[in-house]
Amino acid sequence: MENCIFVVMETADGAVKNVGFEMLTPAKEIAAAKNLKTVAVLIGSGLDDAAKAAGNYGADAVITVDDNAYKAYASDEYAAVLAALAEKYQPEAIFIGATPNGKDLAPRVAAKLGAGCASDVTAMKLNNEGKIAFTCPVFGGTILAENVVESCPVMATVRGGAFKKAEPEERSVEVVCEAEISPEAEDIKTKIVDAVKEISEAVNLEDADVIVAGGRGMGSAENFALVKELADLLGGVVGATRAPIESGWISRAHQIGQSGKIVAPKLYIACGISGATQHVTGMVGSDYIVAINKDEDAPIFDVANVGIVGNVMQVIPEMIEEIKKMRA
């Protein structure tokens, strides 16, 4: 399995997080150009379904380190295991999702391997020298830096939603169970005493099929409740531009865009949103975009599949009423 790219897939309760599947897309493109294999790496417990899914989403092979000891993420253990796998298989690149756990894991592994790591990557391509050029938003998203990592392996954390996952298809790929790999006693410097599940509002925009997003055009925190009502009715999640967040109408966890989350739902309804580049870069990958804006020249209409010119305070209640009628 030499000459490969590792795509490290985080799991939660045995299921792969979307960013793992998404990373396979650029990894496979780069692997094809450089004649490498794309290898999914899974560390956890009860990984059979996850390994199968990794193959179905396009990994050429899967390595699992499956043990009850890795049921929950633990920095020292996971870092030691992943570094040991990297030393054994010598991948040319290692991609890790820029999730809270991934952001903890990547620099630890990079330090162990003496590798460089690009952070929070939103795009990547091979440059003229055949090296991977990573696009990374820096200084709070004000600048998009292009980084080339001059180490072997090249490491990167990749932002969720930045790439589109492939359509899964039933495939059978090689799965290597690395039962022997385990951390040395001296690798373990911390012990997890307790895990607190939620300390802030959890908003899973990246995995949502439907997002209803509100902008400054919603006018007030009270009016913003309409966005939530429509999202709830459609089984969706509430998103926002930076403007209502800065006005204190909704929390930052909902921000979509260059300095927020990148999303690609099946349906995106933009309510009172002008379509500034910094917002559009975060949602333009949506399958179907409906925009409601009172200004017929608003740039959001340039990326919308359906544009409704009108006042959100009239259009959204009518949409809600019609959907309720259809379901009655």
Ligand X SMILES: Cc1cc2nc3c(=O)[nH]c(=O)nc-3n(C[C@H](O)[C@H](O)[C@H](O)COP(=O)(O)OP(=O)(O)OC[C@H]3O[C@@H](n4cnc5c(N)ncnc54)[C@H](O)[C@@H]3O)c2cc1C
Using CB under 6 A as the binding criterion, the count of chain residues that bind ligand X stands at: 29
> Does 276 help bind ligand X (rule: CB under 6 A)?
yes
CB of 147 to ligand X, least distance (A): 18
Binding letters toward ligand X, positions 124-143, x by CB under 6 A: -----------------xx-
> Does 243 help bind ligand X (rule: CB under 6 A)?
yes
Element (H, E) at 228: helix 221-233
CB of 174 to ligand X, least distance (A): 40
> Does 279 help bind ligand X (rule: CB under 6 A)?
yes
Q: How far from chain centre, in Å, is Cα 327?
A: 33
Residue 118 region, left (φ>0) first, then alpha (ψ -120 to 50), else beta? beta
> Does 313 help bind ligand X (rule: CB under 6 A)?
yes
CA dihedral sign, ordered 263, 268, 269, 275: positive
Q: Give the SS3 label for residue 233.
A: helix
Using the minimum distance from each CB to ligand X, give the nearer residue, 142 or 151. 142
Which segment (48-56, 72-80, 83-91, 305-313) binds ligand X by CB under 6 A? 305-313
Q: Which of 5, 298, 304, 319 binds ligand X (CB under 6 A)?
A: 298
Q: Which residues does 207 contact at the CB level (< 8 Å), separation at least 6? A: 17, 18
Contact (CB, 8 A) for 226 and 218: yes
Structure tokens at 44: 């956890």
> Does 294 help bind ligand X (rule: CB under 6 A)?
yes
C-alpha pair distances (Å), 82 with each of 69, 151, 178, 212: 15, 17, 11, 38
Which segment (24-32, 58-66, 158-166, 266-274) binds ligand X by CB under 6 A? 266-274
CB of 197 to ligand X, least distance (A): 27
Please give the backbone phi and psi of residue 48, each rounded to the nearest 5 degrees, phi first.
Answer: -60, -50
Distance in angstroms (rounded) separating the CA atoms of residues 229 and 127: 46
Using the minimum distance from each CB to ligand X, give the nearer residue, 127 or 220. 220
Q: Which of 25, 187, 278, 320 binds ligand X (CB under 6 A)?
A: 278
Q: Give the burial class of 108: count Cβ atoms within 10 A of its Cβ; 0-12 exposed, 13-18 middle, 19 or more buried.
A: middle
Residues of this chain, 194-223, that bind ligand X according to CB under 6 A: 215-217
Using the minimum distance from each CB to ligand X, give the nearer residue, 151 or 251. 251
Which segment (76-84, 90-98, 121-129, 258-266) binds ligand X by CB under 6 A? 258-266
Distance in angstroms (rounded) separating the CA atoms of residues 276 and 299: 7
CB of 239 to ligand X, least distance (A): 9
> Does 241 help bind ligand X (rule: CB under 6 A)?
yes
> Does 260 help bind ligand X (rule: CB under 6 A)?
yes
Using the minimum distance from each CB to ligand X, give the nearer residue, 110 or 227. 227
Cis peptide before 183 (omega within 30 of 0): no
Using the minimum distance from each CB to ligand X, give the nearer residue, 81 or 238. 238
Selection from 237, 171, 147 nearest residue 24 by Cα? 171
Using the minimum distance from each CB to ligand X, give the nearer residue, 55 or 217. 217
Using the minimum distance from each CB to ligand X, give the nearer residue, 2 or 222. 222
Residues of this chain, 3-32, that bind ligand X according to CB under 6 A: none
Q: Give the burial class of 115: count Cβ atoms within 10 A of its Cβ; 0-12 exposed, 13-18 middle, 19 or more buried.
A: buried
Contact footprint for ligand X (CB under 6 A): 141-142, 215-217, 241-243, 255-260, 272-274, 276, 278-279, 282, 292-295, 298, 311-313
